[in-house]
Amino acid sequence: MSDNYKNPIPTVDIIIRINDGIVLIKRRNPPHGWALPGGYQDEGETCEAAATREALEETGLEVTLETLFYVYSDPRRDPRKHTISTVFIGSALGEPVGMDDAEEARVFSLADLPSALAFDHGAILRDYIHFVESGQRPSPVDR
């Protein structure tokens, strides 16, 4: 196999619901902006375990995963490298605290999301709002 062959990197993101809002983190490292909690999946780790670990590391919240939302794989979704994100919907109790590589963590209402979102998280959240309003998940046919 060629040394130039590169695979996409597996990542996870979590839409954490608390009451009527969702948790976003303010990224400490580039690319800056608000983002869904998430990160890289470690070798030997399931996507589900990575999601709950990343949520705890970045927000201090113990998240209960409820469902797989969608998989986002646009090669341009992360300006640093090609990643594939498995996105979950989960819930938690308590107040999020920015930890690890999260400068801040806060609950936002869906009607009052920040405009400076990192990665493709604006598109993910538009899909999520459509799901909340219609019950329809994103479809690979529409991509």
Q: Where are the domains of the chain?
A: 9-138
- What would the CATH number be for the domain defined by 9-138? 3.90.79.10
pLDDT of residue 6: 86
DSSP, collapsed to helix, strand or coil, labels residue 132 as: helix
Is cis: bond before 31, omega within 30 of 0? yes
DSSP H or E segment with residue 75: none
pLDDT of residue 3: 66
**Which region, left, alpha or beta, applies to residue 54 given φ > 0 means left and ψ of -120 to 50 means alpha?**
alpha
Residues annotated as part of the active site: 104
pTM equals: 0.94
CB proximity list for 48: less than 8 A, separation 6 or greater: 65, 88
**Digit-coded pLDDT (tens) for 11-32:** 999 999 999 999 999 999 999 9
Q: Dig out the tokens for 22 from the structure.
A: 């969702």
Q: Dig out the tokens for 42 from the structure.
A: 């470690």
Q: Enumerate residue ranges in the chain where pLDDT < 50.
A: 1
